[in-house]
Chains A and B, each alone.
Chain A
Amino acid sequence: MLSRPDFHALIKENRVHSSLYYDERVFQEELENIWYKTWVYVGHVSEVPKKNDYVTKAIGPTPILMVHDRHGNISLLQNKCPHRGNQLCAYQKGNRTSFTCPYHAWTFANSGELVGLAFPDGYEGVDKSEFSLGKVPRIAIYRGLVFGSFAKEGPSLEEHLGDAKRALDQMLDNSPEGELELTAGFLQHRTKANWKFVLENETDGYHPGSVHGSIFQVASSPVPALYKPESLALTRDYGNGHTEFDLRPQWRHVGKPMYWFNTTAEKLPLYTEAMKKAYGEQRSQEIMIDGSPHIMIFPNLFIAEIQMFVIQPVSVNETIQHVTALQFKGAPDFNRRLRQQTMGSVGPAGFLLADDTEMYERNHRGALINNPEWIVLTRGEKRETRDEDGHRIGHSTDEVTQRGIWRHYLKLMTEQA
């Protein structure tokens, strides 16, 4: 039996040990203490709009069937026949009231109960209720966002989200109806790198100037200014591993609706009108100035203003980024542009994410080099302050966020349940 890594020795306040990214034992501990324990984002209710719709999702390496079941509830089922363990469903999505295992034809309701056995005469007296599909024990839905937790007990989703919930509300305010509808399908971008390189980069404001210099140079946008020394944007550590760039100070300084999206209210007349109708003149202006947030909900849900990323670790050295365009209910003209811009930016061929992902892979190869052993997270340490709610904040390029992620990580890896 392998010994347990000493996480206190590997994680310091402003530096972490490289082995955290490549040690197989660390990955197994993460599965146990993070992925199969805390709240993990699974999917959105709009991906299964009709009764009996299902999609294949995942919690870490484990596939999960997210089902709008026959009773009208969202169920998170494990894709494994309880008889001999065969993979139950081989498709990524569909609509069906039941799942039949191809191996021995056991049939399950889409809410998980065993409803039919082939040749039942060999199973006299068997209680079918003992052979339901595995379920994610806890499921919680925040404004359409479906989270699951493999821990039967623990903090509620609201407790887990804490004040980071405000950023999700900020995102949803961009819809005249206050709702998302994820209808554009996901790109799946595979990378040979540990998932924490992805997690940490999502709120790393120090890299855009160098990693994305090529696209900043050839396409004009208000984004590059966010990550320059004179930027008013902030990094924030919400606690519980949730981190963000608060871009609002910069957008409010400019004070123009839709500037954050590199456009004007006039160029989106239908959207502007719908927002006014929904929120009133004053509030709609504020929402359209503030824009959509840049928030990383630990461990796997990343809202990058106009996109949703879902981070999925597959193994210690392989990660999948699932990404789609945010689509705001009641905003067709805006949604079209959100899709176009997302397609340009993200995924395997994206102007931005192809380069981020190149960095993840170089990061991972770098971690394997044994000297120096430590990764440095000191940027902005001396100028870190607190906001009015007591959350740590810093300049947009400071490593407030990475320090926050690791502080929470250490807690998860060392607290005994």
Chain B
Amino acid sequence: MIDENEIDPSIAEPVALSPEQELMLRRIEQFLYYEARLQDLHAYDAWESLWTDDAIYWIPANGENPDPETQMSYVYDNRSRIGVRIKQLKTGKRHTQTPRSQLARIISNIEFIAQNGDEFEVRANAFIYEDSLRGETTWAARNEYRLRLVDNKLKLVRKKVVLVNNNKPIYTLSFLV
């Protein structure tokens, strides 16, 4: 904990899923594994195409839930900035990813949190092994997703990656997390 006056988040119990939601959870799992694979393999265009136009990609710093509009985050990208990030990676001159990080990640603890019409709130944990010129690095994160069904395909509307050590000094994080 960074601030000794910080309040612990409340812990919600798991929701009871309808049979349709049970099936949707399977699709969500498949979608998150697919996203993970695209990231591990640096499939930049395919990953970018997962995002909706109103997307937010957020990696906060200094806690679980700071206000991204007033506090520094590692990443706080709207759709346009996600595009710049991908374009930069694709120039072949993004030195920190030339050569690319070698990656494998585990996505687990996938939880269906809520459904609002065509949108689904989901949580998962991510554990990522990275090998780069610098050496081996492991990353651990609690992820929160808002997914939306668009033309019967799941899309990323919002992804929040809470690195468990986001209040500490961290190494360069230039692959897609």
Contact A188 B169 (CB under 8 A): yes
Contact A343 B93 (CB under 8 A): no
Kindly state whether residue A329 has any CB partner on chain B within 8 Å: no
Residue of A nearest to B175 (CB): A349
Contact B84 A348 (CB under 8 A): no
Interface string of A79-93 (1 = CB under 8 A from B): 000000000000111
- A267: shortest Cβ distance to chain B, in Å? 17
Interface string of B1-14 (1 = CB under 8 A from A): 11111000000000
Instruction: For B134, list chain A residues within 8 Å (CB).
Output: 192, 361
Contact A218 B87 (CB under 8 A): yes
- B9: shortest Cβ distance to chain A, in Å? 18
Kindly state whether residue A215 has any CB partner on chain B within 8 Å: yes
Main secondary structure of the interface of B (DSSP, over half): loop
Known contacts A92-B3, A358-B95: A187-B61 contact under CB 8 Å: yes
Select the stretch in B41-49, B64-72, B106-114 that faces chain A. B64-72
CB-contacts of B5-35 with A (<8 A)? 5
Kindly state whether residue A191 has any CB partner on chain B within 8 Å: yes
Kindly state whether residue B62 has any CB partner on chain A within 8 Å: yes
Contact B72 A93 (CB under 8 A): no
Of listed A184, A215, A349, residue having the most chain B CB within 10 A:
A349
Contact B74 A357 (CB under 8 A): no
Kindly state whether residue A359 has any CB partner on chain B within 8 Å: yes
Contact B170 A91 (CB under 8 A): no
Interface string of A317-346 (1 = CB under 8 A from B): 000100111000000000010011011100
Contact B170 A186 (CB under 8 A): no
Known contacts A185-B62, A362-B133: A348-B3 contact under CB 8 Å: no
Contact B91 A217 (CB under 8 A): yes
Kindly state whether residue A5 has any CB partner on chain B within 8 Å: no
Known contacts A189-B169, A192-B134, A218-B84: A347-B74 contact under CB 8 Å: yes
Contact B66 A185 (CB under 8 A): yes
A-B contact count (CB 8 A): 118
Contact B72 A343 (CB under 8 A): yes
Residue of A nearest to B173 (CB): A348
Of the candidates B87, B96, B133, B171, which one forms a contact with A190 in the assembled complex, judged by CB atoms under 8 Å apart?
Answer: B171
- A212: shortest Cβ distance to chain B, in Å? 9
Complex Cα distance A92/B74, Å? 18
Known contacts A187-B72, A211-B95: A358-B3 contact under CB 8 Å: no
Kindly state whether residue B75 has any CB partner on chain A within 8 Å: yes
Complex Cα distance A33/B81, Å? 44
Known contacts A91-B1, A218-B87, A325-B72: A188-B168 contact under CB 8 Å: yes
Kindly state whether residue A177 has any CB partner on chain B within 8 Å: no
Of the candidates A325, A336, A348, which one forms a contact with B172 in the assembled complex, judged by CB atoms under 8 Å apart?
Answer: A348
Contact B70 A183 (CB under 8 A): yes
Contact B2 A92 (CB under 8 A): yes
Kindly state whether residue B59 has any CB partner on chain A within 8 Å: yes
Range of interface residues on A (Cβ < 8 Å): 35 or more
- A144: shortest Cβ distance to chain B, in Å? 19
- B25: shortest Cβ distance to chain A, in Å? 30
Contact A343 B91 (CB under 8 A): no
Kindly state whether residue B76 has any CB partner on chain A within 8 Å: yes
Main secondary structure of the interface of A (DSSP, over half): mixed
Residue of B nearest to A322 (CB): B169
- B99: shortest Cβ distance to chain A, in Å? 11
Complex Cα distance A325/B61, Å? 14
Of the candidates A213, A215, A325, A349, which one forms a contact with B74 in the assembled complex, judged by CB atoms under 8 Å apart?
Answer: A349
Of the candidates A185, A343, A349, A359, which one forms a contact with B173 in the assembled complex, judged by CB atoms under 8 Å apart?
Answer: A349
CB-contacts of B36-94 with A (<8 A)? 59, 61-62, 66, 69-76, 81, 84-85, 87-88, 91-94
Contact A339 B70 (CB under 8 A): yes
Of listed B91, B96, B167, residue having the most chain A CB within 10 A:
B96
Of the candidates B73, B88, B133, B171, which one forms a contact with A343 in the assembled complex, judged by CB atoms under 8 Å apart?
Answer: B73
- B87: shortest Cβ distance to chain A, in Å? 4
- B123: shortest Cβ distance to chain A, in Å? 22
Contact B2 A91 (CB under 8 A): yes
Contact A218 B88 (CB under 8 A): yes
Instruction: For A192, list chain B residues within 8 Å (CB).
Output: 134-135, 171
Kindly state whether residue A355 has any CB partner on chain B within 8 Å: yes
Kindly state whether residue A214 has any CB partner on chain B within 8 Å: yes
Kindly state whether residue B115 has any CB partner on chain A within 8 Å: no
Residue of B nearest to A361 (CB): B134
Complex Cα distance A327/B163, Å? 26
Of listed B62, B169, B174, residue having the most chain A CB within 10 A:
B169
CB-contacts of A172-212 with B (<8 A)? 183-192, 211
7 residue pairs, one from A and one from B, having the closest CB atoms:
A190-B169, A188-B169, A214-B93, A358-B96, A218-B87, A94-B4, A91-B4
Chain A residues packing against B (C-beta within 8 Å): 91-96, 183-192, 211, 213-215, 217-219, 320, 323-325, 336, 339-340, 342-344, 347-349, 351, 354-355, 357-359, 361-362
- List 12 A–B pairs whose Cβ atoms lie within 8 Å, in order of A's numbering: A93-B2, A94-B5, A184-B71, A187-B61, A187-B72, A217-B88, A340-B76, A343-B74, A348-B170, A348-B171, A349-B174, A361-B133
